A and B are shown apart, each in its own frame.
Chain A
Amino acid sequence: MGAVVGTLTMQTKQRRPSRDKVDDDLEMTVVCHRPEGLEQLEAQTNFNKRELQVLYRGFKNECPSGVVNEETFKQIYSQFFPHGDASAYAHYLFNAFDSGHSGSIKFEDFVTALSILLRGSTREKLQWTFNLYDINRDGYINKEEMTDIVSAIYDMMGKYTYPALKTDTPKQHVEAFFQKMDKNRDGVVTLDEFILSCQEDDNIMRSLQLFENVM
């Protein structure tokens, strides 16, 4: 309903006589997306109007075209972690946010994910996290996926850490994780195992509530 993308791009595509690359680049930025109305978003998420307003202002400021593509997303996320390289983790985050797999995050996706993370129930949060870890979306987290994620997290630390990062630190971290999470020792973690293990761990439970007051 909110997407104006279709008609706009269709028209510009037809009008374009020459395949000039510069024109292509210029036209890409014309693509604009407007989100659904405020009331609808308020109904769909757990935010109130004022919070949505603040969120949208920040979103629109950084992305005037109304959508975030992966490059911009990585840039924005990297600015919070100047020490290391946040692009790998940002990539996984992007895929987690981009629930429609469209290659760009619209404001609705953004707000939906934030609503889960900040105002959702514990189960919803854990489910979202499971989706983040499950890179290929097959319903299982295996060791390779987890290693990727953990390596990405360690990449954000950068080079200058104490104690110095060793090459097998992520692997050991993943081992520890699987020890805790993989109850039936079958080498993969399913959603239920994940949620169960997390619920047993007070640390994790407490830390999930940590960002309640972010807005």
Chain B
Amino acid sequence: MAAGVAAWLPFARAAAIGWMPVANLPMPIAPTDKNKRQDELIVLNVSGRRFQTWRNTLDRYPDTLLGSSEKEFFYNEETREYFFDRDPDVFRSILNFYRTGKLHYPRYECISAYDEELAFFGIIPEIISDCCYEEYKDRKRENAERLMDDLEDSKDSKLPNMTFRETMWRAFENPHTSTMALVFYYVTGFFIAVSVITNVVETVPCGSTPNQRDVPCGERYTVAFFCMDTACVMIFTVEYLMRLFAAPSRYRFMRSVMSIIDVVAILPYYIGLVMTDNEDVSGAFVTLRVFRVFRIFKFSRHSQGLRILGYTLKSCASELGFLLFSLTMAIIIFATVMFYAEKGSSSSKFTSIPASFWYTIVTMTTLGYGDMVPKTIAGKIFGSICSLSGVLVIALPVPVIVSNFSRIYHQNQRADKRRAQKVQKARLARMRISKTGSSNAFLHSKRNGMLNQALELTGSTGEDRHLNKTTSLIESQHHHLLHCLEKTTNHEFVDEQLFEQSYLESALQSLPSRSPSLSSQEGITGTCCSRRAKRGSRPSSEAHKPSHMHPHTHNLQELSAIHIQCGEQRTLNTSRSSLNMRPDESGGLNCKSSSQVTTAIISIPTPPTNNSPTSPEAPPNLASNSSAGVVKVSAL
């Protein structure tokens, strides 16, 4: 039950009078307020600042410190107030939670201090209201990340018992863990640079030879360049193989982007080795050499910024896609227009629409090379429109990409999203659990409630007393209300599993033939029961009785006349049962009721067990039924 509406419980109970004429069973006794206190002001002294509130306000949330009897530990007899040695500023929000039902998180408060206070007062952070929950979660996440970073920094010590493979992998991933790793890191970086520079320099024309043509250095010093290339590729190959060996999951490693870049970087060389100077494929061979430039991407292992750029582009895929699409649309439109506008002029460079694409792109990106210019007036007009619109179309998605980049740079975006989804789900799940906890509380307290009633009736002291839980008065009143509803409708609340269980049982069991004999048998057992109630227990016969009655239970339900609740192989504990027999007021009562009453109570695990083999746990549907054993007067 939401504690905020505890104040309306008297109204709900009063409204229950509306059920009374409809009900045919007597209602359970209402819980009385044993120590009937008038609502009083209590003083909460938090480090010197005094807060005052009604006792009822605090009772709204009985599962917190202030709402339960735990606060009695902090009661100061002399000053007659509750003293808490905690932060008074944070206590303000906590007390407001009791007053308004909403927990707010003050922004100026430190997150860990607030968490501590909440934990002290027994309030779960999940109930922070929506207006403040985002802020709370963000701060908490930041804090957790900071803690984790600190942890990682201090976690540089080598873990014991790492295999050679694991050591290698760790060295590859975090170069600053050991000197060898650092050396390796720099060496590979150097060779990447060397390889890239080699590729570049290869094409520079160096030196003039007697033939009047400048040859690129690559053709002049073929052998040198070839050796350099070979050396680099060998280093890269060795590095790749070592990474492959050390990777904890080779399959996953081979699928990762970096390893693909590695492969693409070294593959052309090998393909080039295989394909010697074959004229047919030399064209393809030349193309392959282009891929050598991919070696520059190997630098992204060395540079965090490059990786972030890659992430940005990946995350902005939709914006980039939009940019591309809109540009394509605009290019096609303007190219078509320019083509038809320039068609008339002679010696026009706009020979076809695809030829106009080049002009449109150059104009829209405001490059304006000038190799193609419109000559007609219409062409010039449309050309100017094209360049103006180009500015707009390109300028629009770019800030989005930029802001994305800055966002990723400051946060770890992917992990955040995943974690946020999980957190939201977990939060909702926790709130649901606490809500179902309240409905389960009724079922739970029914078992305990019956236990308590039985104990009170028998007046037994002893260790069973401690089971007499002090549920708050509000809870007991609420449970009484639900109990009255059960009586009115003559059905009980059960939880889901039992419902399905009984449903299955009722579906399975159908023994109509025995019902005629039942009534007679019932009468016998009933009287036997009452007789037995006065005498000692006889486990054997008692054990039979439930099993007889059980199959017929569901038949009789259909008559909806008699509500027999039969326990599974429960044995009687007659001394208690006799005391629990209630005199039934409705006419037409027969012994069945008393038999039900006796059956019901037995499930209590009683310490002074006689020879009845009672099993320790009580089936809830049984225990709850103690007073439901009364026969409902039917219209039959």
Cβ of A67 within 8 Å of any chain B Cβ, yes or no, is no
Q: Which residues of A contact B23 (CB under 8 A)?
A: 203-204, 207
Main secondary structure of the interface of A (DSSP, over half): helix
In the complex, the answer to whether A77 meets B491 with C-beta atoms within 8 Å is no
In the complex, the answer to whether B495 meets A62 with C-beta atoms within 8 Å is no
Cβ of B371 within 8 Å of any chain A Cβ, yes or no, is no
Q: Knowing A79-B2, A82-B1 are in contact, say whether A114-B499 is a contact too (CB < 8 A).
A: no
In the complex, the answer to whether A162 meets B10 with C-beta atoms within 8 Å is no
Cβ of A188 within 8 Å of any chain B Cβ, yes or no, is no
Cα-based distance from A164 to B45 in the complex (angstroms): 52
- Counting contact residues on chain A (CB < 8 A from B), the size range is 35 or more
Cα-based distance from A146 to B16 in the complex (angstroms): 16
Chain B 484-502 per-residue mask, 1 if CB under 8 angstroms from chain A, else 0:
1110110111111011001
A205 → chain B closest CB, angstroms: 9
Cα-based distance from A125 to B495 in the complex (angstroms): 34
A207 → chain B closest CB, angstroms: 4
Q: Knowing A62-B5, A163-B491, A169-B560 are in contact, say whether A206-B499 is a contact too (CB < 8 A).
A: no
In the complex, the answer to whether A55 meets B10 with C-beta atoms within 8 Å is yes
Q: Which residues of A contact B341 (CB under 8 A)?
A: none
Extra contacts, 4 of them, besides A83-B493, A169-B491, A211-B16 (Cβ < 8 A), are A76-B8, A132-B18, A160-B498, A203-B23
Cβ of B435 within 8 Å of any chain A Cβ, yes or no, is yes
Chain A 51-95 per-residue mask, 1 if CB under 8 angstroms from chain B, else 0:
000110111011000000000000011011111000000000100
A97 → chain B closest CB, angstroms: 8
Cβ of A135 within 8 Å of any chain B Cβ, yes or no, is no
Q: Knowing A114-B14, A173-B22 are in contact, say whether A160-B635 is a contact too (CB < 8 A).
A: no
Cβ of B270 within 8 Å of any chain A Cβ, yes or no, is no
Interface-located stretch among A3-11, A13-21, A33-41, A151-159: A151-159
Cα-based distance from A149 to B16 in the complex (angstroms): 13
Cβ of B621 within 8 Å of any chain A Cβ, yes or no, is yes
Chain B 441-481 per-residue mask, 1 if CB under 8 angstroms from chain A, else 0:
01000000000000000000000000000000000011001
In the complex, the answer to whether B489 meets A157 with C-beta atoms within 8 Å is yes
Q: Which residues of A contact B2 (CB under 8 A)?
A: 79
Q: Which residues of A contact B560 (CB under 8 A)?
A: 169, 172
- Counting contact residues on chain B (CB < 8 A from A), the size range is 35 or more
Which residues of A line the B interface, CB within 8 A?
50, 54-55, 57-59, 61-62, 76-77, 79-83, 93, 96, 110, 113-114, 117-118, 125-126, 128-129, 132-133, 149-150, 153-154, 156-165, 169, 172-173, 175-177, 179, 181, 194, 198, 202-204, 206-208, 210-211, 213-215
Q: Which residues of A contact B54 (CB under 8 A)?
A: 57
Main secondary structure of the interface of B (DSSP, over half): helix
Q: Which residues of B contact A59 (CB under 8 A)?
A: 7-8
Sample of 8 A–B contacts (CB below 8 Å):
A55-B10, A58-B6, A58-B7, A58-B10, A82-B436, A161-B489, A163-B506, A207-B484
Q: Knowing A162-B499, A203-B586, A214-B14 are in contact, say whether A177-B22 is a contact too (CB < 8 A).
A: yes
Nearest opposing residue in chain B for A61, CB measure: B7
A185 → chain B closest CB, angstroms: 13
Q: Which residues of A contact B277 (CB under 8 A)?
A: none
Q: Which residues of B contact A157 (CB under 8 A)?
A: 485-486, 489, 491, 493
Nearest opposing residue in chain A for B28, CB measure: A210
Q: Knowing A93-B15, A117-B14 are in contact, say whether A194-B21 is a contact too (CB < 8 A).
A: yes
Cβ of B634 within 8 Å of any chain A Cβ, yes or no, is yes
In the complex, the answer to whether A117 meets B502 with C-beta atoms within 8 Å is no
A175 → chain B closest CB, angstroms: 6
Cα-based distance from A82 to B437 in the complex (angstroms): 10
Nearest opposing residue in chain B for A96, CB measure: B18
Interface residues in B26-50 (C-beta closer than 8 Å to A): 26-27, 29-30, 32-33, 38-39
